[in-house]
Structure 1
């Protein structure tokens, strides 16, 4: 009976974790990555991103980490862009109004999860 309870609990927790991801889109930008809106000239590496108004939260997004996973193409140019990997990025910058994606990933972060030729992809993301 205890095994069934543990299995049921694991299934519920897994479902909750999967359902807490948010759908969005991602684009990418290229170096130089400094200065950034959040950290000025402090270099935060290459697994970074800029937040659109959807998650910017009046600068509260600065320093937050998000796990981003490619879920599909936004155009027919690259019909299967996803690599199958996920990436964790830190928000270091702001992607101003008119931003083409929910999250604007560094080129290195984008290439971890998708083909750069896609330019823009569908994603799931969750704060970690």
Structure 2
């Protein structure tokens, strides 16, 4: 058992993929980003996101929370290299993704473009709440 834990630790240390946090999918949406469920007509930064019920939204309790999001892979095989290697983005939750949301988190277009090729449209991600990691 100890050998397995050492192997996992070495993998986490030297691989490009994060080994902490949750996994899910991300899509993106385009402006306008206001009004939002959390801040109404008050604009936030361009690095923002809408939470799905899977994140969880918690009846608005997710408002203002920050998440580190990292692209792991593409989902539709439409782009040869969908992820920008070694890139993560920190986003602030400002809205609830509407019913029928196709991802765990719906990133702003600028946030998605920081970590992946927008032509991919939907990506597999890892995400961690900001308080649980150090920049």
Q: TM-score of the superposition, structure 1-length normalised? A: 0.84
Q: In the TM superposition, what whole-angstrom CA distance separates every residue of 1:67-89 from its partner, at most 9, and x where no partner exists?
A: 00000010111142000210000
Residue of structure 2 in register with 1:54 after alignment: 54
Distance 1:45 1:122 in 2: 24
Residue of structure 2 in register with 1:37 after alignment: 37
Deviation at residue 107 of structure 1 after TM alignment: 0.1
Distance 2:19 2:71 in 1: 16
* Structure number, greater radius of gyration: 1
Number of positions where the alignment pairs a residue of Structure 1 with one of Structure 2: 116
Unpaired stretches in structure 2, ≥5 consecutive residues: 1-8, 131-135
Unpaired stretches in structure 1, ≥5 consecutive residues: 1-10
Distance 1:76 1:109 in 2: 21
Residue of structure 2 in register with 1:67 after alignment: 68
Q: Is the CA contact 1:53–1:96 (under 8 Å) kept in the aligned structure 2? A: no
Deviation at residue 62 of structure 1 after TM alignment: 0.4
Deviation at residue 21 of structure 1 after TM alignment: 1.2
Deviation at residue 63 of structure 1 after TM alignment: 0.3
Residue of structure 2 in register with 1:3 after alignment: none
Written as runs of structure 1 = structure 2, the 5 A alignment for 1:1-128 is 18-55=18-55, 56-84=57-85, 85-128=87-130
